[in-house]
Structure 1
Amino acid sequence: MKKDLRKKEGHRRHRANINKLKHKNMRLRKRIFDLEQEVKQLTSSLPMINKPSSPETPTPSPTKVFISTLSPAAKKRATLRLINEEENLPRGTVSAVRQKFGINLSNQYSPPSSTPSELEEKIINFKCRDDISKLCPNKKKKINHQQIRYRLNHLTVLHQQFKVETKTNVDYHTFLRYVPSFVVKPKVDDWGTYLCIICINPQIKFDKLNQLKSTKPITKQLVNSMPIDLNEVLNNQQSNKQLKDALHELKREKFSLTYNEWQKVKISGSSSTVSKKVPLVASIEDFIERFLLEIENLKQHLQRVHQQFKAAKEAKVDAQQSLDTVTIQIDWAENYNIRQAQEEKGILQRLN
């Protein structure tokens, strides 16, 4: 019985509150309606007050309003169509369009040239040289209908070499923009021999860290936002610091990993050594320590290479300005007819 009375009392209070809110809402609506009427009266009387002193603002042209909403690309397409039909337009249309919209239909439109610039041609020819890049053995691997070529050195080194050999002053970012898309960085497994242990071993370890992102969440968290090319990481001060911080963080982890490394291996029964890719197993701490050491060696190596190209460029300039100066450039090339394992390189001299 008490439960039913309590329920009835609750319904009564609920209805009372709803009615109270309804009345309050109606009063607010009436107040809003009265205020709107006052605003309308003030608005209608305002032009009458200001009419003697200021003229009425002219209404903008619907055509101009419509034109202003078009995108720049749409305006350009419409302008080109008008230029093509200029001879068939009625007399005075060109001047009317110029006065009304600010578009000069008398200007001759010349489409952007698809012919590569002289600088772009130089960079493409340079990158396609056999001593700069090698054709991919698999002829089916193509990019933009061009067979893939593997570049043989870091982009920063190739940039310095291009400046020295072509005597062209071009900044690094412009050089990158004109590098052909089919000249790509090779993967570590794409080579049967190494080009430079100092360059390739750190890249192998960096690739290994990127492979661990799928199995070790901590690795993905630390190196996910970095470029895949170690040289690009080292050239960027922020990325370089981020990599070092990530490596020091990884040293605290406790797991082992297997990776490959190029080493000089002694042949049994001979004093000669050959380069060989050796599989290794190490803890993450030892792996990181070795990687950090190789990174420092790589940075010093690249710095020496850059200084050598800079000195070579200065030597060429001096030779051109002085009759008593001769520049000799020594190129290192693969020697395929080797008799001993140590004979991995040959020397080619060129007088300038």
Structure 2
Amino acid sequence: MADTATSLDTTPLHGVHNELDARMMAFGGFEMPVQYTSIIEEHMAVRNDAGLFDVSHMGEVLIQGDGALDFVQHIVTNDASNLYDGRAMYTVMCTPEGGIIDDGIVYRRAEDHFMMVLNAANTERDLNWMRSHNSMDATLHDISDETALIALQGPEALGIAQPFLDQDLDDLKFYHFWERDGGTFLECDQALISRTGYTGEPGLELYVPAEAAEHVWNALLEAGHDRGLKPAGLGARDTLRLEAGLCLHGNDITEETNPYEAGLGWLVKLDKGEFIGRAALQEIHERGPERQLIGFVATERGIPRHNNIIKSDSGDVVGTVTSGTQSPVLDTGIGLGYVPNNPEYTDEGTHLQVSSQRRSFEVRVAEPPFHTD
């Protein structure tokens, strides 16, 4: 729904965020809550108890018809033929040169019915790309405006949602989902309950009709009150995903990066048949990527920031920071960035420097997730 005052879109939960006095910001063309209380408080709630996120800015596209599977196989790198009803997969779409157009999740709802979830800022561009490569005559239907997406994340998440479901959530495996209709989940006409998330914690992502969003949000907040559930904004979502070492499109992965250098080679199934970018990715796979995305932890005071320079221990410029923050769990700086694919810079424990215009500080190459022992 359009917000004419700001020219930004708003989610179905915009009124709720205002009632909660959330600090709002522009993100992906939407006015979104960045925090309700503090980023650290919301971050730690998710790590220790649970957090509730409005991520309704994400795009959802239905892919249907006899050519649905062939179309999905054509546009993504992962192998959708391994999916079955109730199974989802993480994947990327690539250019013919192997650059990452977007990353997202594909859900198989039926043999001829898939749903693909796209990043908010990329939805329109992704849809145009998909339509321009739809030689299989699959039916594409953008349901983003009519769909709300609420993420319930944290150690207490499944326990909070359990009373609203008729099956044991312990039976819902990672990257699997259930569908409910007829009001059987919080009175929603239909709902998709997905065992996925972007925080490094157990949790669910709930796709519900836009008109049901406020009811679902409020019911979950009330149910989770005694379990430490707190509303959480995009600020905590970013620090959580970075502690977990999860990539953000537009920062860590772009059309200028390929899956192999981003550590996402496991998403590329070269043996599944032809797909967009396959030839280029085959060549990169055979020769090896020229650079590699590394994780690192600061060993002295300093917070890495996007576009900071990465230097070798001797002071030579070797790369660039793509994401960085202060880890609430570690209470030190953490980040991701690209360096040459050379053990001299990529081996765990290697000491490098991160440099801004103001100062430099030492970091140590580390394998995410950063927040776990």
* Range class of TM-score, shorter chain: under 0.3
Higher helix share: 1
Based on CA coordinates, which of the two structures has the bigger radius of gyration? 1
Q: TM-score, normalised by structure 2?
A: 0.24
TM-score, with structure 1 as normaliser: 0.26
